[in-house]
């Protein structure tokens, strides 16, 4: 079984986001990432210029690199990956 048969189905990322970036825009952009079905964001802390948020992404085969790229494009800093779930796709 090749490595590519292991798919990412859930990931929780702790992110520091500038306050002017809207949660709606960020969550919609993340939902556009290939293999993503659901995106949920929870605000954990609010500062003068930034907000600490927890992003939960669920899908059948989430494109991790694209997720990271999108988060960075939206001027956000990734602080940690808090949870991750993968599964092995059954051969057809």
Partner 1 sequence: MGGEEESDSLSFLEVLEEKADNLRYYIKLSGVSEIARRYFVMNAFDGAVTMLGVLIGAIIGGGLSPKIILTTGIGAGIAMGVSGFFGAYLAEEAERSRRIKKLERALHIDLDDSVIERAAKVAAIMAAFIDALSPVLATAISLIPILLAVIGVIDAWTAILASIATILVLLMVLGLFLGKISGERILYYSIATTCAGLVTGILGLLLHVLYSL
- Are 27 and 39 within 8 A, CB to CB? yes
Q: Report the DSSP pairing between strands 50-59 and 77-88.
A: unpaired
Nearest-angstrom CA–CA distance, 20 and 22: 6
Chain-centroid distance of CA 8 in Å reads 11
- Single out the residue of 9, 14, 74, 86 in contact with partner 1 (rule: CB under 8 A): 74
Q: Is 73 in the site for partner 1 (CB under 8 A)?
A: yes
Task: Compose the 39-68 pattern: x for residues touching partner 1 by CB under 8 A, - for all others.
Answer: --------x-xx------------------
Binding site for partner 1 (CB under 8 A): 16, 18, 20-21, 25, 47, 49-50, 72-77
């Amino acid at each position: 079984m090749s490595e590519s048969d292991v798919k990412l189905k859930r990931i929780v990322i702790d992110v520091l986001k500038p306050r002017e970036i809207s949660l709606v825009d960020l969550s919609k952009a993340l939902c556009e990432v290939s293999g993503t079905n659901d995106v949920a964001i929870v605000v954990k802390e609010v500062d003068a210029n930034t907000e600490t948020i927890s992003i939960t992404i669920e899908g059948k085969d989430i494109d991790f690199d694209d997720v990271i790229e999108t988060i960075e494009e939206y001027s956000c800093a990734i602080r940690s990956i808090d949870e991750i779930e993968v599964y092995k796709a059954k051969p057809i």
